[in-house]
Amino acid sequence: MSAPTLPIESPAALVANPSGYAIEFDNVSIAFDEKVVLDRISFRLPHGETKAVFGVAGSGKSTLLKLAIGLLRPDSGRIYVLGEEITHMSEQELFELRRRVGIVFQESALFDSLKVYENVAFRLMQEGISSAEIERRVREALRFVELERTYDMYPSELSGGMRRRVAIARAIITEPEVLLYDSPTGGLDPVTSNTIVELIVKQRDVYKTSALMVTHRLQDAFTMATHYFDKATNKMVALPKGQHCEVPLSFLILRDGKVIFDGDAHQLATSRDEYIREYIS
Amino acid sequence: MAFELELISPIEVAKDVALAVQEYTLLSAQSLANFFRPPLYMGDMLQQADLIGVGSLPIVVLTGLSVGALLALNSASTLEQFGGISLIGRLVSIGMVTELGPLITGLMVAGRNASGMASELGSMIVTEQIDAMRALGTDPTKKLVTPRIGATAFMLFFLTIIADLLGLIGGYAVAHLLFGVDTQQYWTTVWQILVFRDVFTGLIKPVLFGFIISTVGCYYGMSTRGGTQGVGRSTTQAVVASSVLILVVDFFVTKLIFAIFGYR
């Protein structure tokens, strides 16, 4: 049985204002070896919003992120990132755009032959920034993820959760306008997962960074929907009950390569779609 | 439980080979073009030169020495039968400088470094480090492939000179100690027999072999698929393909040089 498709705005409406969103997918399709992974996907990510992307394994979530940063090219459709159409950009043009986009990979993808500070400073080193400035910014980024003590360590000396946090530090060091998280809490214990979620919420609420977050863990997204980051206490705190869902967070659910849900937490909770109800139960 | 042997269409195989050749050519061309497009990662190139050049020195010294000694040992008995033992220096010299020095050094470095490059880059592919590099705004061919090509071609040139010299020393040791050839006579014949063409042949080959080793190693590394098993497969394929390609190119380069300069 094929997945039902939600009525979403026509592609023409999406293209009408291509620069108004951090990310836009317009009828994007991609297939590998004749297996269609994403089939005419369309959605928009407004500036400052975090969109949690759900779907069963193999539903194309990670592919979606790689398309959004230009690591993969779609077979058809158009992708806009920060108002620029990236679909036909050359790799060189994409390098320029990627300075404004950060990504945290599923298994962190830290360079294992480089120390933590070299990993975090990688992009800055390529840009020829002075070493004093690099050190200041690396320490600042590591302080953000509370791992300044790992400055001189190698990735192999860190735990899975610490590696994930270093990957976040590497992604945010250039203060990107968009962040892409690929299962940032996958395979981690609940306490470490909560630390990662807190960092994502901090990035959302303090720096107002737009983000796409692929995850399997519904509870992480609900924590993000019901909490905000309090700058005064430097902690993530729960929103009062009536103000739940008043944070810039939305949900996107993929099934069989199609978008079957794109909306906020309230719409998700009240959805009558059987598959979605089963998914969130 | 029944197993079915799936026959692969020859057309599909031909298509795969054509695609691989196309991708290899593109990677090689792009990596060469990177030498003229900044940034040139000199730090990475020096690091690779150290790994490839200095790291391969012990194995090149040993093989050079033993090949030269074996060449002298095997030819001495024949030469002795015809009373030509005094010509042993000529034989070792021509053999080492034009053929065995570059070839053995190339094959040794291929075994050591093509596999190293394929496994290192292959591991980076399967752990998404190459994707991360691209996402961080760095071209992996510039940062990883071009420095390896430059370092391998440059260092193989000097490694071959070292192997040649040690081969001649190995030949001398056998000729002098076992067959009583005079020291001055040996080195004079070694020196006199060599002409420009021989030295040119012996020094152009390592540059080509260095290019083959690095591009094949990097190609198999960058096209790795299928986790750790894929890394193992790429490593093996890189050694086999680079060794075979070295032997094939060696033949054609020798033939071409003969065509240009004429036979001895």
Can you give the three-state secondary structure of B168-205, one letter per residue? HHHHHHHHHHHHCCCHHHHHHHHHHHCCHHHHHHHHHH
A 124-143 → B contacts, CB under 8 A: 126
Residue A119 has pLDDT above 90, yes or no: yes
Distance CA A104, CA A50 (A): 14
User: Residue A150 domain-assigned?
Assistant: yes
- Best residue in A62, A65, A67, A71 for a mutation probing chain B (most B CBs within 10 Å): A71
* Interface with chain B: mutation pick from A69, A86, A91, A105, highest number of B CBs within 10 Å: A105
Tell me how many domains chain A contains.
1
Q: Count of CB atoms within 10 A of residue A59's CB?
A: 22
Task: Answer with the residue of higher pLDDT: B83 or B236.
Answer: B236
Residues of B in contact with A123 (CB under 8 A): 136-138
In a domain, A137, yes or no: yes
| pLDDT tens track for B239-257 | 999 999 999 999 999 999 9
Question: What's the mean pLDDT when you consider all of chain B?
Answer: 93
Cross-chain residue pair A109–B39, CB shorter than 8 Å = no
Assess if residue B8 is contained within a domain.
Answer: no
Nearest to A98 among B124, B127, B135 (CB): B135
pLDDT surpassing 60 at residue A53? yes
Does residue B218 lie within any of the structural domains? yes
Tell me which chain B residues have a C-beta less than 8 angstroms from the C-beta of A126.
Answer: 39, 136-138
Would an 8 Å CB–CB cutoff place A151 in contact with chain B?
A: no
- Averaged pLDDT of chain A: 87
pTM of structure: 0.85
CB contact under 8 A, B39 and A170: no
- Burial label for A265, CB within 10 Å (0-12, 13-18, 19+), is buried
Q: Are the beta carbons of A105 and B131 separated by less than 8 Å?
A: yes
- Asked if residue B36 has pLDDT above 70, the reply is yes
Q: If we measure between CA atoms, which residue out of B98, B101, B117, B119 comes closest to residue B212?
A: B117
Q: Is residue A105 part of a domain?
A: no
ipTM of the complex: 0.84
Residues A142-169 have pLDDT tens digits of: 998 889 999 999 999 999 989 999 999 9
Q: Is the pLDDT of residue B96 over 90?
A: yes
Q: Does B136 touch chain A (CB under 8 A)?
A: yes
Q: What is the mean pLDDT of residues B191-219?
A: 94
- Judge: B139–A126 Cβ closer than 8 Å, yes or no: no
Domain, as residue range, for A168:
110-175
Find which of B136, B138, B143, B228 to mutate to test the A interface (most A CBs within 10 Å of its CB).
B136
Residue B103: pLDDT band (50, 70, 90) is very high
Q: Which residues of B8-45 are buried (b: 16+ CB within 10 A; e: fewer)?
A: eeeeeeeeeeeeeeeebeebbeebeebeeeeeebeebb
Bridging pattern class, strands A101-104 and A50-54: unpaired
- Cβ-defined contact of B128 to A123 (cutoff 8 Å): no
Q: Is residue B16 part of a domain?
A: no
Is position B127 within any domain?
yes
* Displacement of CA A204 from its chain's centroid (Å): 11
Single out the residue of B158, B209, B234, B214 nearest to residue B44, CA to CA.
Answer: B214
Inspect the interface and report whether the beta carbons of B137 and A98 lie closer than 8 Å. yes
| A:B CB pairs within 8 Å | 51
Q: Which residues of B touch A32 (CB under 8 A)?
A: none
Question: Running DSSP on this structure, what letter comes out for residue A281?
Answer: -
Q: Sheet holding A178-182: strands in order across?
A: A101-104, A178-182, A210-214, A50-54, A249-255, A258-264
CA B49 to CA A12: how far, in whole Å? 55
Closest chain B residue by Cα to residue A67: B135
Task: Mark yes or no for CB contact B129/A110 under 8 Å.
Answer: yes
Return the pLDDT at B4.
65
User: Does B8 have pLDDT greater than 90?
Assistant: no
Q: Which of A257, A198, A237 is nearest to A27 (CA)?
A: A257
Is the residue at B85 inside a domain? yes
Mean of the pLDDT values across residues B50-60? 93
Asked whether residue B112 is domain-assigned, the answer is: yes
Tens digits of per-residue pLDDT, A177-231? 999 999 998 878 888 888 889 989 999 998 899 999 998 888 888 889 888 898 8
**Quick one: pLDDT at residue B1?**
52
Structural domain contains residue B30: no
Task: Give yes or no for a contact between B114 and B218, defined as CB atoms under 8 angstroms apart.
Answer: no
Residue A139 clears pLDDT 50, i.e. is over it: yes
| B16 vs A: CB within 8 A | no
pLDDT at B2: 56
| pLDDT average, residue stretch B185-197 | 92
Residue A2 lies in a domain: no
Evaluate if residue A7 carries a pLDDT over 60: no
Would you say residue A70 lies in a domain? Answer: no
pLDDT-based confidence at residue A244 (cuts at 50, 70, 90): low
The closest of A227, A237, A235 to A265, measured between CA atoms, is A227
**Is A27 in a helix, a strand, or coil?**
strand
Give the distance, in angstroms, between the CA of residue A143 and the centroid of all CA atoms in the same chain: 21
User: Least CA distance to B38: which residue of chain A?
Assistant: A126
Residue B89 identity (one-letter amino acid)? G
| Residue A158 DSSP label | S
In a domain, B22, yes or no: no
Q: Say if residue B58 is preceded by a cis peptide, omega within 30 of 0.
A: no
**pLDDT band at residue B5 using 50, 70 and 90 as cut-offs:** low
Q: B136 and A66: CB-CB below 8 Å? A: no
**Contact check, Cβ <8 Å, B135/A111:** no
- Residue A256's CB: how many other CB atoms inside 10 A? 18
> For residues A4-21, b (16+ Cβ closer than 10 Å) or e, as one string?
eeeeeeebeebeeeeeeb
In the predicted model, is pLDDT for residue B214 greater than 50?
yes
Average of per-residue pLDDT across A242-253: 81
Residue B139 has its nearest CB partner, among A91, A106, A122, at: A91
For residue A101, which residues of chain B lie inside 8 Å, CB to CB?
A: 135
Put simply, whether A99 touches B (Cβ < 8 Å) is yes
Domain containing B49: what range? Answer: 41-261
Higher per-residue confidence, A71 vs B5: A71
What's the total number of domains in chain B? 1
In a domain, A160, yes or no: yes
Measured distance CA(B252)–CA(A135) in Å, rounded = 53
